[in-house]
Amino acid sequence: MRTEANFGEIQVALDALRSTLQRRLDQHGKGKFCSTHEGLGVITEEYHELVDAVQSNEPSDYKSECLDVAVAAFWAYLSAPSSLD
């Protein structure tokens, strides 16, 4: 059964997302993905790392990889053209 996330938990998660995004910007700069294919490739790579983390059954690895997937998806969204033809 699912439990409700409280405001504090949501704030902690958003702070972790912002922090992870900032680290990635510091590492890789602000260059957008060149194409939707590149964005999908990065998300896919992060997804596979998330699968490995689930299989390792290590909660800290799982949470870290969830953030990596979220950041990759966020950057793909930011990089996407305003209309996909």
Please write the tens of the pLDDT for every residue from 72-83.
999 999 999 987
The whole domain housing 58 covers 7-78
CA distances from 83 to 39, 57, 80 (A): 15, 40, 8
For residues 33 and 75, the answer to whether their CB atoms sit within 8 Å is yes
- Percentage of the chain beyond pLDDT 70 is 96
Assigned domain for 84 exists: no
pTM of the entire predicted model: 0.90
Torsion of CA 29, 34, 37, 42, to 10 degrees: -10
pLDDT digits (tens, 9 = 90+) for 19-42: 999 999 999 999 999 999 999 999
Domain assignment of residue 69, yes or no: yes
If one counts the domains in the chain, the total is 1
On whether residue 73 sits in a domain, the answer given is: yes
Quick check: 85 pLDDT over 60? no
Give domain status of residue 30, yes or no. Answer: yes
